[in-house]
Chain A
């Protein structure tokens, strides 16, 4: 199975923590960008002819900044040139303030069947610290609209560890999310990336970096709360109701092939990874000139593939086949409750998941 990722780099405002390829103030490029996505698909299609596409994911940025009709046109075009399977998972990310029932219904009708809402928090103070412009109520409104529009597979994205956020405010956020009864929850520990406004402020000591111990407590709380609510913790940062795992993301972790379209998007197949030009203008110029917008590529060595295989698998509940771990390396971690053995596989415990880097290095050497 293969995946198709579509990157939409536009945002109403750029949040201080975000290090994705996203921009505010480039909305005037939206029309050209939509065209370019279609053109790029044409250019890339020959390499993926006959490849069965099981998942499609529109991410960003904020994909819902694009006009509904444009989104639909792009998806329809993809259907024409790629072998998108019946029953494929088609996800679109949405920021709460960019969607309403009408837009969501139109998208649903066009074939988007999974919605990922960037809720981030249900605590106004945490949302402010994250520089999110929406309110908890607009998350609830967007979620309700999604249900009315017929989405039965909705994810809520959450972030924990914003400055000022306490364990009890995180508890309320989890409650707020669970109250909506979503099929899927992603909860990410806020990470300070150096090349972001927040990263620079932390470096200049005008803002505080998240306390890793508090984040560990928050993570443990999420594990408990979501577990109690019947969610399965199937990847470090992802929980799903049984059968509602995000198939697209599972594809990344299982190292299935994927084609990325749009500015800065990455693709992978058969040990090769390549990525597009990041700046939207450059991306547009290349595609409009009829050229694939190549930004870079790498050929994975055997060691690269092994390391990726281990660290991606270990993040998920799939874990590692026991034969991939040298005898003796696992013993301490089993004793310490960071690793568990289930039949012929090693799987991280929830505590071990939050130490996944350490575990990867420890188990592979």
Chain B
């Protein structure tokens, strides 16, 4: 057990690619937590996906031992996910800390997600240590960046640390500042146990491992514990600290951070934000505040690309669910795509990650329908229906109104791109709330926007209209009535459920026309003329035609080389078998994949900027 006065719990708030993982690597080195030969880049990022994309999806905390002025300190670095999809997880990580390093790229300046997380950190009462990173890069403007941060934090520009996480410059000063400025944790070690789960992961051998901050009391290594939100009592198997490899300890006491092997087998039973206490009469009567059920924001249908893999997809989702408490799914059947699942995600990045993990870790080939948000439909008579699949949208005339989720969006941009950003937000039915200048060159704008508009290539548009300089963050705002309609796409008179979309009436025509045009390119000619129609109810709003195919014949068929002709025909037969049949129309898999591909951008492109 460490004296509370010797503990510092902190996190790093930074934008993707501003050097958080690299800084963490340097801290591991200067505290000798990892020896040189074991070091690898982005040490704390667990999944290959994270290293590949240069982003942190799932945080991993680490305990560092640091000597300063003859004293020995424990620095608990609590890594945080840096993406808008995971705001709740970020808030729980912040709640486990007393301090936050605000790390900003000296060439890029502060960005919207950093700003959002900075506000979260300050609202949580954390001590902020501002720092500028990458000061040794040619394009760096450390003084400008420092001035911007100082303005935001409300400190003097000289108090902003100058760091190069890559070379190690200023990293020791930063560690010193953490010791000097971040207050030690407080907590009552003799009170009933309250430990907050700020992260949890599934380990194939050990079950669910939670990462906890002990707020009050003591967490013994082996004890019968209660997960308060779920109301489940289990035998905890082992408590310990990550340094960065797991080191078991006898107990974790108030103020400390560590891991607990819970003995549960499903992350849904040990959720981020939940409070752990002792089972029985020694337990706390109240959980810690701030727990929230994960709530999917974006929905999409996932279908096996080759029919028949449905059970494999189900098994894969069941397995993935063990390690992803935010993933929701329910069986769905589509006329066009067969059996699959309607899946709920925290956001687009989360959706991308799940899809990629399903494809990579479980070797599945998937077709995903275009993502949609959850609508609330108020039916005639007052009944409210949650619609997260366009096919569930009631027919026109059977409902009174429709409501859609709105988000409060923050955009930070060089002032010269304000015009294009106004245009973009305007075209996405946005309502501007306010705007302010961070510096004479950079502005912060707040918009109220429909979430449905954001998940439809908003991010890409924002990036392309601002040459990559603008950044975006958003948070849920609530529901608001909207004039929404379901647009159906019909092939040769048959509706293709996978292509249906619930969309604002003003955009319905454009959507219908675009889908029809896209499909005209993707659907091979059939021996009859194929009409592609977009419709609202029974009203056709767009039409394209795929002309009838008139030639499909092997030419010269003599000379006796019939083998080759037969093989060509067999190939053609296989190609045909791979197609999906909609009514009488053969539609290739690729058509579904391409037509449903929305180049929405998920924030990961930022890393490649």
Contact = CB atoms under 8 A, between A and B. Distances in A.
A225 to B, nearest CB: 18
Interface string B541-576: 000000101111111111111110110011011001
A63 interface: no
A349 interface: no
Nearest to B562: A308
A91 to B, nearest CB: 11
Contacts of B557: 236-237, 252-253, 312, 315
A357 B566 contact: no
A102 B561 CA distance: 33
Nearest to B525: A212
Contacts of B558: 249, 252
Given A216-B551, A355-B549, A237 B556 contact: yes
A336 B560 CA distance: 32
B550 A212 contact: yes
A138 B332 CA distance: 69
Interface in A41-60: 59
Given A191-B555, A357-B572, A361-B569, A252 B562 contact: yes
Contact of B551 (A213, A266, A361): A213
Given A266-B560, A308-B566, A354 B573 contact: no
Nearest to B570: A307
A304 B553 contact: no
A268 B559 CA distance: 11
A307 B568 CA distance: 12
A54 to B, nearest CB: 15
A213 B563 CA distance: 28
Given A275-B561, A336-B528, A236 B566 contact: no
A265 B561 CA distance: 8
B527 interface: yes
Contact of A355 (B553, B555, B584): B553
Most buried by A among B550, B551, B554, B559: B551
Contacts of B551: 189, 212-213, 215-216, 219, 354-355
Contacts of B547: 213
Given A307-B569, A358-B527, A361-B573, A236 B562 contact: no
Contact of B553 (A298, A308, A357): A357
A338 B560 contact: no
Nearest to B559: A59
A356 interface: yes
A360 interface: yes
Given A304-B566, A307-B570, A252 B555 contact: no
A253 B562 CA distance: 9
Contact of B527 (A20, A308, A336, A360): A336
Contacts of B561: 266, 275
Contact of B555 (A237, A265, A275, A336): A237
A353 interface: yes
A219 B572 CA distance: 22
Using C-beta atoms within 8 Å of the partner chain, give the interface range for chain A. Answer: 35 or more
Interface string A1-23: 00001000000000000001000
Contacts of A253: 557
B528 A357 contact: no
Contacts of A216: 550-551
A258 interface: yes
A71 B582 CA distance: 58
Contacts of B566: 304, 307-308, 311
A98 interface: no
A260 interface: yes
B549 A267 contact: no
Nearest to B554: A357
Contacts of B570: 307
A82 interface: no
Contacts of B528: 336
Contacts of B576: 361
Contacts of A308: 562, 566
Interface string A343-357: 000000001011111
A1 to B, nearest CB: 15
Contact of B559 (A20, A304, A315, A354): A20
Contacts of A336: 527-528
Contact of A354 (B552, B556, B560): B552
A273 interface: yes
Nearest to A250: B558
Contacts of A267: 560
A59 B557 CA distance: 13
Contacts of A266: 559-563
B553 A236 contact: yes
Interface in A258-279: 258, 260, 265-268, 273, 275
Given A307-B570, A315-B557, A338-B527, A356 B552 contact: yes
Contact of A360 (B555, B560, B563, B569): B569
B560 A258 contact: yes
A205 interface: no
A20 B559 CA distance: 9
A236 B558 CA distance: 12
Contacts of B563: 266, 273, 275, 298
B556 A332 contact: no
A112 to B, nearest CB: 18
A234 interface: no
Nearest to A266: B560
Given A5-B559, A260-B560, A304-B566, A355 B527 contact: yes
A188 interface: yes
Contacts of B553: 189, 236, 353-357
A213 B560 contact: no
Contacts of A338: 527
Given A213-B551, A307-B569, A332-B584, A191 B556 contact: yes
Contacts of A357: 552-554, 569, 572
A237 to B, nearest CB: 7
B538 to A, nearest CB: 26
A188 B566 CA distance: 19
A266 B563 CA distance: 9
A188 B551 CA distance: 12
B573 to A, nearest CB: 5
A265 B527 contact: no
Contacts of A356: 552-554
A131 B475 CA distance: 68
Contacts of A191: 554-556
Contacts of A59: 559
A193 to B, nearest CB: 9
Contacts of B550: 212-213, 216, 351, 354-355
Interface in A25-68: 59
B562 A273 contact: yes
Contacts of B573: 361
A266 B570 CA distance: 20
Most buried by A among B552, B558, B560, B570: B560
A311 B565 contact: yes
Interface string A136-177: 000000000000000000000000000000000000000000
B74 to A, nearest CB: 67
A354 B550 CA distance: 7
Given A213-B550, A273-B563, A356-B553, A311 B527 contact: no
Nearest to B555: A191
Given A312-B557, A315-B557, A354-B553, 4 more contacts: A212-B550, A275-B563, A355-B527, A357-B552
21 contacts: A5-B559, A20-B559, A59-B559, A191-B556, A212-B550, A236-B553, A237-B556, A253-B557, A258-B560, A260-B560, A266-B563, A273-B563, A307-B570, A351-B550, A355-B551, A357-B552, A357-B554, A357-B569, A358-B549, A358-B552, A361-B569
What 7 A-B pairs have minimum CB-CB distances, sorted nearest first?
A216-B550, A266-B560, A191-B555, A212-B551, A356-B553, A358-B552, A357-B552
Interface of B: 527-528, 547, 549-563, 565-566, 569-570, 572-573, 576, 584
